[in-house]
Copies of this chain bind each other. A is one copy, B any other.
Amino acid sequence: MALDHAILVSLLERPGSGYELARRFERSIGYFWTATHQQIYRVLKRMESDGWIDVREVPQQGRPDKKEYSVAALGRTALSEWLHQPIEPESVRHDLAVKIRGAAFDDPAALIREVERYRQVHNERLDHYLAGEVRDFTGPQAAHAPGPPDAGRELQHVVLRGGIAYERMTLAWLDDVLATLRGLASDR
């Protein structure tokens, strides 16, 4: 039910088309909320007919026209209401943990390769986050720059730090997993 709200936040940060949103959901927002373009277009349509968002047809040269969505007053209200509701416990779907426990009834050693590959994915994601942090949250306009602190920036940064902490924790755990799997493989 919160894809609506994830889209609203993204549109508040910057108005955009369904296509652009879909791309954002492959990067920044996508790291803590996944959605495909089919979902996005459907939700956009519903939110538009509910008056939560406004559309503006933007003609473009050299590429198809697009519909740029932005958040309307009703959408802001809906988001605000949602923000004031209790945080719900995350619903987890952790394939790898199931596979690890399942490996006891199959071949634990066979998982090693896959876990190594998986580890690489997370390593790349960490690098990506760290590069983003340097790009967006260091330098002249950061920290103690003149003027009021930008709440949006600070909040985006703390979410990014969460992503970084998550990836580091995951990498350390995957090393633990690999050591355990290798231990089981060499014990026989």
Task: Give the B-binding residues of A (Cβ under 8 A).
Answer: 2, 5-6, 8-9, 12-13, 29, 31-34, 76, 79-80, 82-84, 86-106, 108, 110-111, 114-115, 117-118, 121, 148-149, 151-152, 154-159, 161-162, 165-166, 168-169, 172-173, 176-177, 180, 183-184, 187-188
Contact in complex: A176, B149 (CB < 8 Å): no
Contact in complex: B5, A98 (CB < 8 Å): yes
Contact in complex: B110, A84 (CB < 8 Å): yes
A151 to B183, CA, bound (A): 10
Residues of chain B with a CB closer than 8 A to A29's CB: 98
Would you call the interface of chain A mostly helix, strand, loop, or mixed?
Answer: helix
Contact in complex: B114, A87 (CB < 8 Å): yes
A1 to chain B, nearest CB (A): 10
Contact in complex: B101, A151 (CB < 8 Å): no
Residues of chain B with a CB closer than 8 A to A8's CB: 102
A165 to B176, CA, bound (A): 11
Given A90-B94, A165-B173, is A158 in contact with B6 using a C-beta cutoff of 8 Å? no
Contact in complex: B5, A155 (CB < 8 Å): no
A177 to chain B, nearest CB (A): 5
Report the nearest B residue to A76, measured CB to CB: B105
- Which one, B101, B106, B155, B180, contacts A104 given CB within 8 A? B155
